[in-house]
Structure 1
Amino acid sequence: MSGAEHRGAPDPLEAPAEDPSAPASGMGRVLGSSEFSASAAVGGPRGVIESALPTLLFVVLFVITRDLTVAAVAAVAAVLVALLVRLVQRQSPSSVLGGLLGVGIGALWALRSGEGTDFYVPGLITNAVAAAILLLSIAVRRPLVGMMISVLDPRVADWQRDPAARRAYTRATWLFAGLYALKLAVQLPLYLTGAVAALGVAKLVMGLPLFLLVAWIVWLLHRTVIARRESEADRP
């Protein structure tokens, strides 16, 4: 939902360094900062590894060995190791649990059917459901991205009563809906044609890179809303 702007005087989007409640990473941290941090948006290097490694292992091992069991087990093992490391370090496992569920279901699905492309079915379903929910939220005039941002940044808790903010967060919701729809449009044909390796590559390329692009644009929209509000508040 992970370009940097110029440095200068204290900015209204800058999260206070002394605030112990400020998130160390994730979009909550990004939205509260005067600069866009790709690292923070994806959870740092660990977030990148946890996100990409299972799919990368599955694709590489399947192409090399043509053994679906080896590839699926390796992908699940990568997520389990990531989960174990977080538990040992007493860190929140929430970011890994979702991945474990998706990878685990995908692995079981693929092993049961004998088709490598079935490993990606949970991701395809997630893309379709996410796009549908985002579009529905726009249709009922409750753009989901705006609702999520208002939770992450209480400064815009009243965004629904601000026409300019509503427009900004509606555009942001369209962006994420478009992202999920684009993933589905590219990956579904690859799934239907049984292109296991190509589907894995598409999933990786359209994963973090495209997410970061959309997250950056959403950050710009949010920053514009905050800057306008601060400017209006400073007027006599």
Structure 2
Amino acid sequence: MGGKGQDDRPSDTEERKHTGLAALADEDFSVYEAIGGWRGMVESLLPGLVFLVVFLVTGNLAWTVVASGILALVQLLLRLLQRQSFLGALTGLLGVGICLVSAWLSKDARNYYLPGFLINSFWILVLGGSLVARVPGIGALVEYVRQPVLSGFRAWLNSWRSDRALLRAYARVTLVWILVFIIRLVVQVPLYLAGLVGLLGAARLVLGVPLFALAIWISWLMIRDPFHAFHTKADLVDAGHDGDGGVRG
């Protein structure tokens, strides 16, 4: 009788699962989990696919925006009915909404893809700046997800940056993601300028989830060994301090 509440709670393993680049911080990393499973794949691909198909079939921007908007609202309602994160659901709707508003206000279907160009450019600058500052952006993200800090930020930063192998791996992975964003722009911007909406939409789909999955798998292969070596050593040091404290007490 009293077991229902306990059974309904997510297990510790489920609570530790992350999606996106944050999944690199998980001990049991999985590409499938990183892209959000089958649902994450569908929710990532469907908005762009619906926009592209409806526009190519009808040639009518208004119908395309309406159909895509309805789909975004349905996805939001499904997430809320299944008691998923409201913030996550709202973020997804906001992202699609910005793209649709960009296309609608400009009366140009190409501009559905314009916010994506701006986002990719933004991350190229941020990650490139992080390398110049010798604080690889992907490394900072992974380490923060693994151990969020509200105080002692400098000590936290110096701890993982002091490991040369780990720092080098994080720098290389950050370069991988800069390359991902550059590839997207190099392929898509010429299609945008040429007004080839069909090819642009297809390129966006291919360079979305599939490229992300490949890049995050390569990222994990690159950081796996130094990541485990560093954190195993750090955990042993922490355990030693705890043990010393217990003896002294």
Aligned-residue CA RMSD in angstroms? 2.4
User: 2:26 corresponds to which residue?
Assistant: 32
Matched, 1:177 2:170: no
Report if the CA contact (8 A) 2:163-2:230 is conserved: no
Matched, 1:86 2:79: yes
Tell me the number of residue pairs that the alignment of Structure 1 and Structure 2 aligns: 217
User: 1:204 corresponds to which residue?
Assistant: 205
In the TM superposition, 1:151-190 aligns within 5 A as 151-154=144-147, 158-190=159-191
Q: After TM superposition, give the deviation of residue 102 of structure 1 in Å.
A: 2.7
CA distances 1:182-220 after superposition (whole Å, capped 9, x unpaired): 101111111111111111100000001111111111112
Take 2:96 and 2:22, find their aligned partners in 1: how far apart are those partners? 26
CA distances 1:37-56 after superposition (whole Å, capped 9, x unpaired): 22200111111111111100
Q: Indicate the larger mover: 100-109 or 207-216.
A: 100-109
Report if the CA contact (8 A) 1:146-1:166 is conserved: yes
Matched, 1:215 2:216: yes
Higher helix fraction (1 or 2): 2
Report if the CA contact (8 A) 1:30-1:219 is conserved: yes
Report if the CA contact (8 A) 1:145-1:172 is conserved: yes
Take 1:113 and 1:172, find their aligned partners in 2: how far apart are those partners? 37
Matched, 1:48 2:41: yes
Q: Indicate the larger mover: 114-123 or 99-108.
A: 99-108
Q: After TM superposition, give the deviation of residue 25 of structure 1 in Å.
A: 4.0
Report if the CA contact (8 A) 1:117-1:191 is conserved: yes
Matched, 1:58 2:51: yes
From 97, 100, 103, give the equivalent of 1:104.
97
Take 2:14 and 2:46, find their aligned partners in 1: how far apart are those partners? 30
CA distances 1:119-156 after superposition (whole Å, capped 9, x unpaired): 11111111111111111111111111010000122399
Report if the CA contact (8 A) 1:30-1:40 is conserved: no
User: 1:135 corresponds to which residue?
Assistant: 128
Take 1:47 and 1:60, find their aligned partners in 2: how far apart are those partners? 20
Structure 2: gaps spanning 5 or more residues: 1-9, 149-155, 237-249
Q: 1:111 to 1:86 in 2, by over 3 A?
A: same
Structure 1: gaps spanning 5 or more residues: 1-16
* Equivalent AA in structure 1 for residue 65 of structure 2: A
Report if the CA contact (8 A) 1:50-1:96 is conserved: no
Take 2:232 and 2:51, find their aligned partners in 1: how far apart are those partners? 51
* Equivalent AA in structure 2 for residue 54 of structure 1: P
TM-score by length of 2: 0.79
Q: 1:164 to 1:119 in 2, by over 3 A?
A: same
**Percent of aligned pairs sharing the same letter:** 38
Report if the CA contact (8 A) 2:18-2:33 is conserved: yes
* Equivalent AA in structure 2 for residue 79 of structure 1: A
